Amino acid sequence: MDKRTPPVSQGPILKIALDTPLRRLLDYRAGETPAALGARVRVPFGRQQRVGLVVGHAEASELPADKLRAVTDVIDAEPLLDASLMGLLAWAADYYHHPVGSVFASALPKLLREGADAQDAVSLWSATPVGREALAAGSLGRAPKQRELLDLLATEGPLDADRLGERLPRWRETLRPLVERGFADREVERVTAPPLPDDHAGSASEHVLSADQQAAFNAVTGSLGRFGSFLLDGVTGSGKTEVYLRAIDAVLARGQTALVLCPEIGLTPQLVSRFRTRFAVPIAALHSGLTDRGRLAAWRSAARGEARIVIGTRSAVFAPLPDLGLIVVDEEHDASFKQHEGGFRYHARDLAIVRAQRAQVPVLLGSATPSFESLHNVQLAKTTRLSLPQRAGAAAPPAMKLVDLRAHPVSKGLSTPLSMTMKHHLDAGGQVLVFINRRGYAPTLLCKGCGWSAECEHCDARMTVHQREQRLSCHHCGAESGLLPRCPRCGHDVKPLGHGTERVEETLETLFPEYPIARFDRDSVRQPDDLEAAIDRVTSGEARILVGTQMLTKGHHFPDVTLVGVLNADQSLFSTDFRAAERLAQTIVQVAGRAGRASRPGEVLIQTEFPDHPLLTALLTEGYGGFAQQALAERAAARWPPYGRLALLRASSVSPGGAIDFLTAARRLGEGAAGVALRGPVPAAMLRRAGRHHAQLLVESGDRPLLQRFLAGWLPGVEQLPTPGGLRWALDVDPLEVF
């Protein structure tokens, strides 16, 4: 029985969301200055002053009056987030079972979470005259970190948080005593969104919509002003982007704003450029490549309604947009929309649908290879399917063929049929794209004498060879070492085994020395400018051969590419992950779609040692739609998503058995629940990663509400379990990776 005293009126109480592991709002007494819902306040938390968000008002608290602490400061006179967006965040905290303060914090740029002015300022720190005198007098001899920071501020200041973080990662705790002693001070600087380039004045489209495009446009715009979920299922090159643009044009004409989500903004400069060329309105981009100051500027531009269109990656689903009229999710199938790391593991596509529903606006999901979840929603009549089955203009779908590696010799990763076909297309003036979803020179370094291979000291994985940089690198934890000339165990010669993009590029340079090559992977393209430069080389015709990873599948339009070669199609054919076949099919179809996008016919050659595999034969004979229909039937029979619901409790520890022991105790807490099955715990596919031992516990149910109720009742007990030092755990609702 609950013996707590009923709440007694204690005056205005603020319910505050603080970015802490606590799964509840915290009560504080309101100060003299009113604090609106959605505004930030500064409050005492332990011995610290923390920035939180006002999520609710109350007249009473369950805490006794002498335990209630007062708000220190009201930062914002006006709300930063509107009621609809706050409702979305509260829903997300419940659905993903993540601490509510952390969820609300994820919707704000870092500088706002730290208390920066939301309107037009950012903090800049510099040394005061008193601080310079203290530095010259050597007064900080016993505080070397403070002396180092003060010297930096004196010589290079004023500096913002970005610059300070680059030089001294833990500068904040060192700065506090300097400010208290008057040695350092803060000033503010106005932050404004970067202006649009002068040549982006906007222009009307001269493209005449096809009948299918017009039907899709009519369906979406006919739903403006109310919720509707639409799946734009269009083959590559069918003109999905043109439908987006027309629909957004209609939204802007109504005086409303639009939100466009894409998987990786740094990989789709053509999309951003196309929007800026088309629309004579300010456009804000929100993505991880921005500095803290740049992100704040873009956020402010959106919040004020200055940016009429926001284009961004998954976190942009929380962008504040007044008068929101439409949400577009491009390449909705892409796994990048799922947050795989950290605690708050949300899916931006799913949250975009919930946000559209709450805001009563349509959401348009586009893909040439729709996710099985979206196809299932079409089956349930929750989503309307809009089809673009034909390529735009005179472009025809590429001819796809399998190259049986059992029957054809392979030299350095390339089969004879592929090499000969490449020569034919290059000599005819076409461009060729070679896809291999593995970067580096080779996936491992092997000893010819004793069989030793270069393995990561921190992971159960082999080190990747990077020949040109003469280094070995672990692509899981980032560990690096020099490239060894001989085996450290027996002294024999070592050799790279297997192929990556760098080695394939080397092979192509040897086979086709007269044709320049552009490589697309994370080693050669580190910044958006690098990608734009590589794309310019392709579109100008300077580069005739493209070689790269999935970076090449992200919506690029290369009209002169007439041949695509897929080198490692077998990589996921026999994976233990139940989603592997879906991902492989999507990758093959997406990369194949780069061929023949203009008037010249395209061709696709897929190298495989398993030409009779059902996935490959289904793709070639029935296309992605036929494959998806078969695969969905298999999922339904097995009650796997989207026909069943999953949650995954992941744990990692520094000790070999710590994670398993924790998950075993967690399983005992949940055993016996009706309608829910717990599987495991089992070690992760890669048991040891970055020096930690990983394991997981799978929770299954055929009913989403039942699973949600189970998780809500189970997690409080899990939180009370003993956690040995170094143990970490996180819950992943609707996981994309289960293995």
Q: Give the residue-averaged pLDDT of 629-644.
A: 92
pLDDT tens-digit readout, 348-364: 999 999 999 999 999 99
Q: So what's the pLDDT on residue 213?
A: 93
Confidence at 224, pLDDT banded by 50, 70, 90: very high
Q: So what's the pLDDT on residue 267?
A: 53
Q: Is the pLDDT of residue 710 over 90?
A: yes
Domains of the chain: 8-113 (3.40.1440.60), 121-190 (no CATH), 211-388 (3.40.50.300), 399-442+498-630 (3.40.50.300), 645-733 (3.30.70.360)
pLDDT tens-digit readout, 580-609: 889 999 988 888 888 777 667 788 999 999
pLDDT tens-digit readout, 483-498: 888 898 888 889 998 8
pLDDT tens-digit readout, 12-27: 888 999 999 888 999 8
From CA 58, how far away is CA 36, in angstroms rounded?
A: 12
Q: What is the mean pLDDT of the chain?
A: 87
Residue type, 180: E
Q: Is the pLDDT of residue 1 over 70?
A: no
From CA 434, how far away is CA 403, in angstroms rounded?
A: 14
Q: Give the residue-averaged pLDDT of 316-332.
A: 95
From CA 284, how far away is CA 306, in angstroms rounded?
A: 9
Q: E-assigned strands of 216-354?
A: 228-234, 257-261, 283-286, 309-312, 324-330
Contacts of residue 355, Cβ cutoff 8 Å, sequence gap at least 6: 84, 85, 88, 317, 327, 363
Q: Is the pLDDT of residue 518 over 80?
A: yes
104 contacts 55 by C-beta, under 8 angstroms:
yes
Q: So what's the pLDDT on residue 9?
A: 52
User: Which residues in 280-314 are b (16+ Cβ under 10 Å) and which e?
Assistant: ebbbbbbbeebebbbbbbbbbbbbeeebbbbbbbb
Q: So what's the pLDDT on residue 11?
A: 63
